Structures are given as C-alpha cells and as structure tokens.
Amino acid sequence: MHFYRLITCGVAVKEAAVQRGVHMLIAILNHIALFFICLFCLCGLYRLFFLFVPLFFKKKAHKEEKIHRIGILISARNEEKTLPYLLDSIAKQDYPKEMLSVFVAADNCDDDTARIAAESGATVFSRQNKRRTGKGYALNFLLGEIHRTLPTEDLPDAYIICDADNVLDAHYVSEMNRMYSDGYQVVTGVRNTKNFGESWVSAGYGLFFMGESQCMNRARMRLGSDAVVSGTGFLCDRALIENTGGWQFFSPADDTEFTAFCLLRGTRIGYAEEAILYNENPASFSDSLRQRSYWTKGHLRVLGHYGGSLLKMSVCKARFAPADMLLSLFFFAFFGLVALISSLFTTIVTFALGALTVTVFVERLFLILAFPYFLFFLYGVYILISEWPRIHAPTSKKLFSAFTYPLFMFSNLPLVVTAAFDRAIWRKVERSSYLSLDDDFRPRDRRTGDPEPDGTARPADNKTEAEPPEEKTVAEAPSGKDGAENVSPENENNADNKE
C-alpha cells in the first residue's frame, strides 16, 4: 500500500511538471507573438500618423521656376503595341517642345518597337545583349549612347525615366520641372493605374501605389523629409548620374535601390503631387505573384546591401528619411509577417497540447486573420475616399476593391519567404489595355485596340519569340533624318566590368 502511494505520488509530480512545462511553453509563445504584434502595430500607427499630416501641415510654396532641358528615357522590349500611347502622351505635354527630348532603348527587340519610336521623333538606340538583360542594363546603355553621340551643350539637364506601358498626364513634365526648380535632384510623381477596374488584382496594385504616393510621399514632403521613389516616371539630375558613372542600379527593385543610394549620399528626393503617371498593372493573379516575387527578391537584396548603412545613419546622425524608409518599406512587412506566423503557430500549438477547445481555437484563428483584414480594409477605404476622382473605374469596382484589397496585401506575405529561395528572373507581363490620354481607361482588345463592350479584353494570340540576331548596337535617328548605324561595344563592356 505504501509502495502504491509512492508510485501515485511520483506520477502526479511528473504530470504536474509536464503541465508546468506546457504552460511555460504556451506563455513563451504568447509573449513572442505579442511582441511582434506590438511591433507591427507600432509600424501601423506610424503609417496612420502619415495619413493625418496633410491636415495639419500645408504645402510649401515653390521657388521661382526655371525651364530646364528635360530628356525622357524609355527602356522598351517588344513594346510596339504599348509604346505609341506613351509617345503620344509625351507629344501632348504642355512643356516647351524645344526643351523636351525623347530617347528610347529598343532592348533585345524582335518587333517594330525601334521603327515606331523613330517615326514618332524619338532618338532610338537598339541593343542586343542576352547576357545582360533588364531595365538597369538598358538604361545604362542608353545613357552611354546619349553622352557618346550628343555634344555636351545639347545634353539634357535632367532625365525622366519611364516604362513603355506608362501614360503621362499632360502636365506631368511641367510639374516635375517645378519641383526640380525647387532644388531637388530627384523627383517622383503620383503612380496611378489605367486598368484599375480590370480585376481585383489590378485594383489592389492601384490602391497600394496610390497610397504610397498620396498618403506617404505627400506627408513626407509636408514634413520636410525626402520622398521614396516608387516604380517609374521619376526625374533624375544629369550631374547625379554622371557622378555615379551612368545608371548603376541593376537589382530587381532598382527604384528602392536608387532611393537608398540617394538617401545615404544626402541627395534630396522631392514629390510632385500633381504629376500623374498612369501605369498598367498585371490583371491575373499568377502574373502578379511572379512580378511581386521578383520585386521582393530585389527588396531583400537592397535590405542586405544598404540596410546596415541606413540604420547607422538613422541612429548615429539622427536622420529621419533613412529610418522612415526602413520602417515603411521593410520593417512593416517583416513584422507583419512574423506577427501573423507566430500568432498562428502559437494558436495551433496551444490547441494541439489540449489547452484550447475547438470553439476557442476557431475563434482565435478568425480573430488573427480578421484583425489585419480590417486594418487593410480601412486603409483601402481611406484611399478610395481621398482619391476617388483620380481612380478611373466604375463605382461598383471601386467599392469592391476595398474588400479585396486586404486579400491582395495578404498575398504579399508568403512572397517574403519564397523570394529568399527563388531565383530573380524577369518575365514579361502580357499587356491587356492599350490606352492614351483621350481614352476612358476601359480594357481594350489587344488585337484591334477597340474598347470591349463587356468591359473585358480578349487574350492576345501566343507568339513564339524569335531567335535573337547578332549582338550589336544600332542608333536610329528620328523620322526625316538619315539613320546611322554605330557599333559601340564599349558601353556594354563598361556594364560588364561594373557589375
């Protein structure tokens, strides 16, 4: 009997120890999840603060404007269908025509991109290099050719870098020049969407980029800080490019890399809140995932290369702009991902250990997912209300986008993990809308260019890419001038040596 009591007592002690261990494990997991949730909420409050800045800080007056010589750089790869609309919007700018020039890099093209650009009056340089592919290499090549062929007195004072699928508002160059005259060496504008109503995916892009422009960059300007370059259509001072030896930003997230570079060297980045650029975004979820995975890979590279320097400048020199970039672009997404994963993991482990009933387990899972959904929903509603006239889509699709925007943002979270193991390979996104400033931004038939009566665009025929010709560099003069063929491998060799 005494022996039986000893065994029973030992079992009870062992069970109590196990229970204490389980409770300790659950407590540790809960504290870890709570820690990252608090960090995510702090980053969220930081972004929330930016929403109210324009209400209390007024826009600063511009300095006396000077009309500068502006060059527009376009990197185009098989863009014979989209490029004419960008060139048309450039031709309709209210900026003095004699102070505006267009340069196109027909990069690894096997269509009529070069011919179409030359006929529009642009100066075209054709490039064939399958080893050095991507926008960064094409821009570096294009700038090298411009400086090689033009006399110094004819070089632009600044360049605006555009993608072939962009469409510029008629006042775009004028607004960018106004900020450039204020002393900013780099200026970015409003990134709007021309195919917002095509799908919930394109609408998600539209709300995100409009928020980054009008909610974040506008507040940065009101606070006297520096903007963050997002995507395309930004202006860059020629002297800045010359001092860096051309365009030396080749990562998948070249805009983020360029922003980090400018902040570290003290280059001021301005934001022209009336300069509107319309960009086409992927409409299919699969294309969107590939593109955002490519961008995320670039962001991780930038964080690895510049993150330490940005953090050091933020702490040691008490600079707001680099800290702002780290918080808004990197830490917000990272803390959000870790908070979500740790919360889900803690809940699942707690349930598996028998500390939760099925009902409580389901309720916790719902709250973990519902809380960030509600936050992103409110943010989407705020953007819709504040920028309603600028968003070109039917009312029903605008309202619907507020409910799907959180899903779009959720889909970014796993990309942070997959991008760390995925190869950064650029893949062309098929276009579905070919629009000019005179259009109503409805999806268009990809073969005829006519508006679709049902509001959707039919898919284009699949084409097999032709074999690339021999590598060479060709400079094509605008229509009305004699074309000249120039072989200049020096520029590509420079890129090879500097990579």
Cα–Cα distances (Å) from 442 to 110, 154, 243, in that order, read: 28, 40, 43
pLDDT at 15 over 50: yes
Residue 251's pLDDT band (cuts 50, 70, 90)? confident
Report phi then psi at 459, rounded to 5.
-70, 150
List, in sequence order, the alpha helices (H) in 387-435: 395-410, 413-418
Specify the pLDDT at position 114. 92
pLDDT at 481 over 50: no
Q: Is 22 exposed, middle or buried (0-12, 13-18, 19+ CB in 10 A)?
A: middle
Residues 6+ apart with CB under 8 A from 149: 475, 486
Specify the pLDDT at position 482. 38
Specify the pLDDT at position 119. 92
pLDDT at 145 over 90: yes
For 336-346, the pLDDT digits (tens) are: 888 888 888 88
130 vs 137: which has the higher pLDDT: 137
58 vs 484: which has the higher pLDDT: 58
Specify the pLDDT at position 12. 59
Specify the pLDDT at position 414. 75
135 vs 172: which has the higher pLDDT: 172
Specify the pLDDT at position 438. 56
| Helical axes 332-352 vs 358-386, angle rounded to 10° | 160
Averaged pLDDT, 423-442 = 56
Task: Supply angle C-alpha 262, 267, 270, rounded to 5.
Answer: 95
- Contact indicator for 333, 286 with CB cutoff of 8 Å: no
Residue 167's pLDDT band (cuts 50, 70, 90)? very high
DSSP state string for 445-459: -TTT-PBPTTS-PPP
- Contact indicator for 149, 475 with CB cutoff of 8 Å: yes
Cα–Cα distances (Å) from 294 to 22, 88, 330, 416, in that order, read: 41, 30, 16, 10
For residue 401, which of 202, 145, 182, 159 has the smallest C-alpha distance?
202
For 295-335, the pLDDT digits (tens) are: 888 888 888 899 999 999 999 888 899 999 988 878 887 88
The distance in angstroms from the start CA to the end CA of the chain is 82
Specify the pLDDT at position 297. 85
Q: Could you tell me the two tokens for 228?
A: 């963050």
Task: Give the lowest-confidence range in 15-29, 138-152, 160-174, 422-436.
Answer: 422-436
Residues 6+ apart with CB under 8 A from 481: none
Which amino acid does the sequence have at 38?
A: C
Beta bridge partners of 71: 101, 159
Averaged pLDDT, 247-263 = 91
Residue 86's pLDDT band (cuts 50, 70, 90)? very high
- Contact indicator for 353, 185 with CB cutoff of 8 Å: no
- The answer to pTM > 0.85 is no
Residue 3's pLDDT band (cuts 50, 70, 90)? low
Q: Tell me how far apart the alpha carbons of residues 209 and 172 are, in angstroms, rounded to a whole number.
A: 17
For 354-405, the pLDDT digits (tens) are: 888 889 899 989 998 998 899 999 999 999 999 999 998 999 999 999 999 9
Q: Tell me how far apart the alpha carbons of residues 437 and 439 are, in angstroms, rounded to a whole number.
A: 6
350 vs 426: which has the higher pLDDT: 350
Unique residue bearing structure tokens 């062309």: 428
Averaged pLDDT, 93-121 = 93
187 vs 461: which has the higher pLDDT: 187
Q: Tell me how far apart the alpha carbons of residues 337 and 80 are, in angstroms, rounded to a whole number.
A: 40
Beta bridge partners of 41: none
CB atoms within 10 A of CB 475: 19
Task: Give the lowest-confidence range in 56-70, 114-128, 201-215, 284-298.
Answer: 284-298
Specify the pLDDT at position 134. 82
For 437-455, the pLDDT digits (tens) are: 555 444 444 444 444 444 4
Report phi then psi at 96, rounded to 5.
-55, 125
| Helical axes 200-210 vs 358-386, angle rounded to 10° | 70
Cα–Cα distances (Å) from 1 to 6, 14, 15, 122, in that order, read: 9, 20, 21, 101
